[in-house]
Structure 1
Amino acid sequence: MQSLFWSVEEVARRAKEFYENGIRQQVEHGDNIGKMITIDAETGEYGIDKTGIETAMNLKQKKPMARLFTMRIGYDVAFSFGGVPLNRTVK
């Protein structure tokens, strides 16, 4: 039975656990580096595409209440938001 509520952190933790414990070895190769992977944090089912949107929609069609987490393959961060590099100061 599905839990009624998982925090964002819990969804991320579970999805990353699936990724580290098996998915990574299957998907981290030249063709997939830089693409987005969307993981169902409850089942470990996943899909890969350029933006993650198509995969997320497909997973939601199969399971509307799925808790999904999307990340970029081969990188620690999926998105970064503007700012100043750490070695520079703002004037």
Structure 2
Amino acid sequence: MQAIFWTMEEVAARAKQFYELGIRQEVECEENIGQMIVIDAETGEYGIDPSGVESALQLKGKNPLAQLFTIRIGYDVAVVFGGEMERTTK
């Protein structure tokens, strides 16, 4: 696979687009709320697990050059420092 290099903003925008245009409907269910989804910004392939680590390793195993983006399912942010996260209702 040929390497495509994007800025962090481009990776985030592409991954969020994949999420909003199809992945969200597949994965936002009660058992996945709070889990991490890791999305390959080039292919839209994704994996879900509690921390995102296993999914990232699997996706990198398939494509070492994959540009990955992680989202916490059901929340607006993946990580916060201090305070509490609020669940979104979309």
* Aligned counterpart, 1:7: 7
| TM-score normalised by the chain length of structure 2 | 0.87
The two structures, once aligned, show a CA RMSD in angstroms of 1.1
Q: Which residues in structure 2 correspond to 1:42-53 (within 5 Å)?
A: 42-53=42-53
* Aligned counterpart, 2:23: 23
Cα displacement (A) at 1:2 = 3.8
* Aligned counterpart, 2:65: 65
| TM-score normalised by the chain length of structure 1 | 0.86
1:52-90 CA distances to partner (integer Å, 9 max, x unpaired)? 00000000000000000011000000001137xxxxxxx
Bigger radius of gyration among the two: 1
1:16-74 CA distances to partner (integer Å, 9 max, x unpaired)? 00000000000000000000000000000000000000000000000000000011000
* Aligned counterpart, 1:82: 82
Q: Which runs of 5+ in 2 are unaligned?
A: 84-90
Residues matched between the structures, number:
82
Secondary structure (helix, strand or coil) at the match of 1:69 reads: strand
Percent of pairs with identical residues: 67
Runs of 4+ that moved beyond 2 A: none
Give the partner amino acid of 1:49.
D
* Aligned counterpart, 2:56: 56
